[in-house]
Amino acid sequence: MTESSTVAPDTTTGAPTIGLLYPGYSAEDDYPALEKRLDGAVRLPLVHTTVDVDAHEVGALLDLGGPARLAEGARKLPSDVDAVMWACTSGSFVFGWDGARKQVDELGAILGKPTSSTSIAFVEALRALGLTRVSVAASYPEPVAQRFVEFLGRGGMTVTAMGFHGIFTAAEVGTLDEEGVLDLARSANVDGAEALLVPDTAMHTLAYLEALEEAVGIPVLTANQVTVHEGLRLLGPVPRLPGMGTLFR
């Protein structure tokens, strides 16, 4: 597992600062709510990137994660960020393993900061936990969910089961309440899996992580959770954070 240490609440500018590029508006309030709960131990300034078409459809997602959109958002980030995350799963894995790496390399070159994305963050989080067998509970339609399965395979992970829920827009995903998120997780087939992945930054999950793990009985990794973890990992040992599931313990 990743080396870790305990971080005391810190409201000074010395707190690690992870800049987030987030497409549109759906569950971005997960991040400031987390900042508040952690009393400033981590800073998460967020910039909204532009969206032409809100659709979980391959063509729309390739446009969503295009270099011009990310570069435009990157220029709006505060200058004092320590690392940057492209906080979008589908807008990264849809480019494939090599394409997702190129995406963050180009973004990092613009910013001169350590940079990654939510899709890469899932693989790095699993590596940190020493896990390779996962079940996926995706909000997306099947063709998009299958792209995530293929991405995980390139990252050395075995997907034991993949559930898809056909929700076509990020805006609709963002309306899911705690019970809706728990129902999505409970619907997953976790037989033989070491962890359950819930891959959509448009879904509110950061307040539900402990409840999710209790509901399914194995570690649960969500998009907004691994995004924060990866941003911290880029800076060194990842601190323990309360209420953030197995990944942060």
pLDDT of residue 40: 87
Going from N- to C-terminal start, the domains of the chain cover 4-248
CA distances from 234 to 2, 43, 60, 148, 237 (A): 12, 14, 29, 22, 9
| pLDDT exceeds 60 at position 9 | no
CATH class of the 4-248 domain in this structure: alpha beta
How would you label 166-177 residue by residue, b for 16+ Cβ within 10 Å and e otherwise?
ebbbbeebbebe
| CA–CA gap between residue 103 and residue 66 (Å, rounded) | 8
Strand partners for 83: 18
196-233 pLDDT, tens digit per residue, is 999 999 999 999 999 999 999 999 999 999 999 999 99
Whole-model pTM: value is: 0.93
| pLDDT exceeds 60 at position 45 | yes
Contact 15, 74 (CB under 8 A): no
Where do we find the tokens 């570069």? 71
Mean pLDDT along residues 140-165: 96
